[in-house]
Amino acid sequence: MVDEIKKFLEEIEDFDPKDKNEVEDFRIRYMGKKGIMAELFAGLKNVETDNRKEVGQQLNLLKNKAQQKIDELNVKFEQAEITSSDVDLSLPAEPLELGARHPVSIVHNEIVNIFSRIGFTISEGPEIEDDWHNFTALNTPENHPARDMQDTFYVEKDPDVLLRTHTSSVQIRVMESEKPPIRTISPGRCYRNETISARAHCFFHQFEGLYIDENVSFADLKQTLYYFAQEFFGENTDIKFRPSFFPFTEPSAEMDISCNICKGEGCKVCKHTGWLEILGCGMVDPNVLENCKIDSKKYSGFAFGMGIERIAMLKFQIDDIRVLFENDVRFLKQFKSAII
């Protein structure tokens, strides 16, 4: 048996296969269930007891040698496969696609820039609000009909905890915690229990503006919004105010801009009126100031609120609000060149 082991050791040493298949045959020949090693180990019982231990050790050595050889050869052929095949390592790597900013973010950033230039700060509030900040402090007590226009999602069964329906709630938070003069804009996400359609969604983004100081007038409101419209939509943009109603402002108005698609001629987007409605605004109702412990005899102010999706749709001529929330990369890719 000792001679046999010697012979196999030499065979293992000299084994020089051409390919992986030969290595596999070799593995089966030595290590297979009925292979050389199995046979030799089975023959161990016929070896004289005195020599059995030593022969057993030599068998183990032989087995290790065979396994080592198989492992080395497998690594060698695998590496050869990688380097010799059709992989051209000098080719450039697959390009990594750069993302694009979401149109809502682009508009958000642009609005922040415009108002920052005239001294407005940025303030934020929670998306899960209480009834006081979303409705009651804004002069919209329980059972006020204006609550119907903003059907809300309530959090659990507590009617006091809800998802805010507008960013006007941040007005209240700012006025409760800061003293006039206040000049701030509050962007953020809002929620309403609306049926989703091309024009409406159950969540969207708004922008609230608030200016409180002594002697603030409607003329200041008009001038601020005129500046915004010109900066955002272009120098030739006209604005128009229509009387409206909001519980938290008195007087209230809605502002239209001249249609920048047809230049006032009339088109599908402006429904042939030449005008597009973009925001609600007004002079902060004295009740609202008093709710926030601001002296309404001394201070006055204006507020405005607008939907960011609506502005993004006008800017990029998008006719369905739903595409803004579907995150389809084919849609989002189109905004790569927008820098803001």
Residues found near ligand DAH in the complex (CB under 6 A): 166, 168, 208, 246, 249, 280-282, 303-305
Of the candidates 140, 188, 197, the residue with the CA atom closest to the CA atom of residue 164: 188
Residue 323 CB, nearest approach to ligand DAH (Å): 22
- CB closer to ligand DAH out of 24 and 194: 194
Residue 179 CB, nearest approach to ligand DAH (Å): 20
- CB closer to ligand DAH out of 188 and 282: 282
- CB closer to ligand DAH out of 106 and 303: 303
Residue 332 CB, nearest approach to ligand DAH (Å): 27
Residue 220 CB, nearest approach to ligand DAH (Å): 14
Residue 270 and residue 276 in contact, taking contact as beta carbons nearer than 8 Å? yes
- Number of helices (H), then strands (E), in the chain: 12, 9
Which residue lies nearest ligand DAH, judged by its C-beta?
305
3-state secondary structure of 199: coil
Strand partners, 262: none
- CB closer to ligand DAH out of 8 and 246: 246
- Report residue 36 as tokens: 């050389």
- CB closer to ligand DAH out of 103 and 301: 301
Report the distance separating Cα 44 and Cα 60, nearest Å. Answer: 12
Residue 263 CB, nearest approach to ligand DAH (Å): 27
- CB closer to ligand DAH out of 208 and 309: 208
Residue 134 and residue 164 in contact, taking contact as beta carbons nearer than 8 Å? yes
Phi-psi region of 271 (alpha: psi -120 to 50; beta: other; left: phi over 0): left
β 161-163/128-130 pair status:
antiparallel
Residue 274 CB, nearest approach to ligand DAH (Å): 23
247-279 in b/e form (b: 16+ CB < 10 A) is bbbeebbbbbbbbbeeeeeeeeebeeebbbbbb
Which residue's entry shows tokens 């090693």?
37
Residue 306 and residue 190 in contact, taking contact as beta carbons nearer than 8 Å? no
